[in-house]
Amino acid sequence: MSSLWKLLYSLKFTIFVIMTIALVSIIGTVVEQGRDAAWYAMEYSDRWVDIILKLKLDDMYHSPWFTGLLILLVVNIIACTIERFPPKWRVLLRKVDKVDTGIIDKLSHRDTFNLNKNTSEFKSTLIALFTKRGYKVKADDVSGGGIALYAWRGIIGRFGSDVTHVSLLLILLGAIIGSFAGYKDFKAVYVDTSFSVPDSDFEIRLDKFWIEYYDTGQIRQYNSNLTVIEDGKDLFTKHIWVNEPLFYKGIRFYQSSYGKAWDRVAEAELTLASKGVTKKIYEPIVIKWDELTSIPGSPYSVRMIGYLADFAYDYQNENFYTKSGDPNNPAANIVVYDSSGEQIATTWLLLNHPDLLGPIPGTTDHLYLTGYRPTHYSGLSINKDPGTNIVWLGSTIMGIGFIFAFFIYHKRIWLSVEVQEDGINTVKVGGIINKNQLSFDKEFDGLVAQLKLEAGVAETLQDNEED
C-alpha cells in the first residue's frame, strides 16, 4: 500500500502519465472521431475496424480508458499535493527565530572580504541596502560584536507550482461538470418558426436570416435575428452572427451554419402555355408559398403546397420523396383552381422535365415550373455548459500560478560579520536562488560589489565582468 502511494506521488510516475496521455492522444487525431460503424467499415480493413470499435477509438477522448488516464493524472496531482507540499510550506513559512549563517560555507554563490567599518553602522547600512533591493531582512547581533543576517524575497514564487496544480484540478472539474450537466444540440430553423429550448422554460423564434457577401462573391458573414419568448410573450430580440452568440439563462445559441431547405421554397415562378388551337404563352407569374394567386388573363388560380429538391417516386409505398438534400430535380406541388374557385387539379411540376405530366386535365393548357427562390434555414448550435465558467476561473488561476512559478524567483542571502582576534572584521556572504542560476550569478556579483563598497574595501562600484 505504501509503495503504491509512493508511486502515486513520484515525479517519475508523473512524467510517465503525462507522456502516455500525450502519446495516446495522437491516435484520435489520426483515426477520425465520431463517425458511425459503417464509415469505419468502408475506410479500414476488418481487423482494424474490430480494433477501433473494441478500443472505442472512434470516440477515444470520451472512452473509459482515456478517462481512466485523466483520473490517474488527477489522483497523481492530489497525492503529490498532499505528500509534497505541506512539508514545503512548513519550511517556507517557518518564522526565522535565529539566523544560522553556518550555511554560507555550503552555498555555491559566496564571497568573503574584510570590513573597514564599524559593525553597528554597517548593520544599518545592510538593512537599508537589502530593503532597497526588495528583500525582507532579519539581522541579529551576535555575541562578541558580530552580525548574523538573513535576507529573502520572492517566496511566493515557490507556491506557483501549487497554484498551477490546483488550477488544473479546477479546469478538469469544470470539464466534468460540463459533460454531466450540459448538452449540445443543433436546430435547423426556418424564418418565422419557433422551437422550445430543451431543458428550459423558454422558446426561440427566428425572425430573419440573411447572408452578406464580399464583392468577390465570397461569404462575409451570416446573420440571424432571434427573439426569446417566455410565457407566450416576446422578451427581446438579438442579432447574432458567427462569433456573436445569444446567451440566455445559461444557454448559448450560435450561428453555426445555414442551408437550403429541401422541402420548401420561398417563391416559385410558373409559366402558363396554351397549346390548343390558339397558341399562347402567358407572362410568367411569381407565387409565394401557400398563397392563392390568380394567373392574369387566364381562368386559373394556383397555390403552391409542396416542394421537393430531388424529386422521386417510391413505387413500393406509392409516394413522392426527395432522394437528397440537393436541388438535383426540383419539383413544386401545385393546386389549380378554375374561375369559380373549384379545385380542378393537384399536380407536381418538375423544373427539369417540363412535359412529364401533360396538360391541366380537360384542357390544352400546360403549366410549367420555370424558376424558384430557395428558402434558407439558419443552423443554430445550442449549448448549455454550466462548467465553462469554472474552466475560465481555473485558467485565470493557472495564469497567476505561472507568473509566480516562472517569473518570481525565491532568493535568499545570508551574511555574517565575524570579529577576529586581530581586530579585523571579516564579512562572509552567500546566496541561493531556487531557479534561473544564470541571472542570479550577475545579481550576486553586483550585490557583492556593492557590499564591498559599503564595507570600505573597494573604491568604486566596479562593473562586474560578464563572460
Partner 1 sequence: MDQPKVIMSLMFFTMSLAFYFLATAFYIGYWLTRKDWMGQAGTSLTYVAGFSMTMILIFRAVESGHAPFSNLYESMVLFIWAVTIGYLWMERKYKFKVLGAFVMTVASLAMVSAWLLPFRFKNIEPLNPALQSKWNFLVKILEPLGLEKYAIGWLDFHVFATFIGYAAFAISFAVAIMYIIKIRYEARSKKSFLFDSFPPSKVLDELSYITIAWGFPFLTVGIVTGAIWANYAWGTYWSWDPKETWSLITWLVYAAYLHARVTRGWRGKKAAYISIAGFLAVIFLYWGVSFILPGLHAYA
* Minimum separation from the CB atom of position 73 to ligand HEM (A): 6
Q: Would you count residue 48 as binding partner 1 (CB under 8 A)? A: no
**88 vs 184, beta carbon nearer ligand HEM:** 88
Which run of H or E residues covers position 402?
A: helix 388-407
Q: How far, in Å, CA of 57 to CA of 30, rounded?
A: 10
**76 vs 223, beta carbon nearer ligand HEM:** 76
Q: How far, in Å, CA of 314 to CA of 31, rounded?
A: 37
Among 21, 74, 103, 312, which residue interacts with partner 1 (rule: CB under 8 A)?
A: 21
Which run of H or E residues covers position 186?
A: strand 183-190
Which residue carries 387539379 as its cell?
Answer: 345
**349 vs 405, beta carbon nearer ligand HEM:** 405
Which run of H or E residues covers position 151?
A: strand 146-153
Q: How far, in Å, CA of 327 to CA of 265, rounded?
A: 11
* Minimum separation from the CB atom of position 99 to ligand HEM (A): 24
Site for partner 1 in 371-410 (CB under 8 A): 381-383, 385, 388, 391-392, 395, 398-399, 402-403, 406
Q: In sequence order, which residues have a C-beta less than 8 Å from that of residue 116 and are 6 or more positions away?
A: 455, 456, 457
**25 vs 462, beta carbon nearer partner 1:** 25
- Residues of this chain that bind ligand HEM (CB under 6 A): 9, 11, 14, 18, 73, 76-77, 80, 84, 158, 161, 164-165, 168, 405
Q: Mask 176-195, x = binds partner 1 (CB under 8 A)?
A: --------x-----------
Q: Of these partners, partner 1, ligand HEM, none, which one is at the site of residue 80 (CB under 5 to 8 Å by kind)?
A: ligand HEM
Among 63, 256, 301, 464, which residue interacts with partner 1 (rule: CB under 8 A)?
A: 256
Q: What are phi and psi of 250, to 5 degrees?
A: 80, 5
Q: Would you count residue 320 as binding partner 1 (CB under 8 A)? A: no
Q: In sequence order, which residues have a C-beta less than 8 Å from that of residue 5 and are 6 or more positions away?
A: 79, 83
Nearest alpha-carbon partner for 189 in 203, 202, 174, 200: 203
Length in residues, the chain: 467
Angle at 164 between CA 159 and CA 168, to 5 degrees: 150
* Minimum separation from the CB atom of position 80 to ligand HEM (A): 3
Q: Where are the beta strands (DSSP E) in 323-433?
A: 331-337, 343-350, 365-384, 411-419, 425-433
Among 5, 6, 7, 15, which residue interacts with partner 1 (rule: CB under 8 A)?
A: 15
Beta carbons of 300 and 272 less than 8 angstroms apart: yes
Q: Would you count residue 422 as binding partner 1 (CB under 8 A)? A: no
SS (H, E, C) 32-78: CCCCCHHHHHHHCCHHHHHHHHHCCHHHHHHCHHHHHHHHHHHHHHH
Q: Of these partners, partner 1, ligand HEM, none, which one is at the site of residue 84 (CB under 5 to 8 Å by kind)?
A: ligand HEM
Q: Mask 49-68, x = binds partner 1 (CB under 8 A)?
A: ------------x-------
Report residue 315 CA to chain centroid gap: 50
Q: Are strands 279-281 and 251-275 parallel, antiparallel or unpaired?
A: antiparallel
* Minimum separation from the CB atom of position 89 to ligand HEM (A): 10
Q: Of these partners, ligand HEM, partner 1, none, which one is at the site of residue 77 (CB under 5 to 8 Å by kind)?
A: ligand HEM
Q: Amino acid letter at 403?
A: I
Q: Of these partners, partner 1, ligand HEM, none, which one is at the site of residue 243 (CB under 5 to 8 Å by kind)?
A: partner 1
Q: Of these partners, ligand HEM, partner 1, none, which one is at the site of residue 464 (CB under 5 to 8 Å by kind)?
A: none
**303 vs 410, beta carbon nearer ligand HEM:** 410
In the complex, which residues of this chain contact partner 1 (CB under 8 A)?
A: 11-12, 14-15, 18-19, 21-22, 25-26, 28-30, 32-33, 61, 175, 184, 214-216, 218-222, 241-245, 252, 254, 256, 381-383, 385, 388, 391-392, 395, 398-399, 402-403, 406, 435-439, 466-467
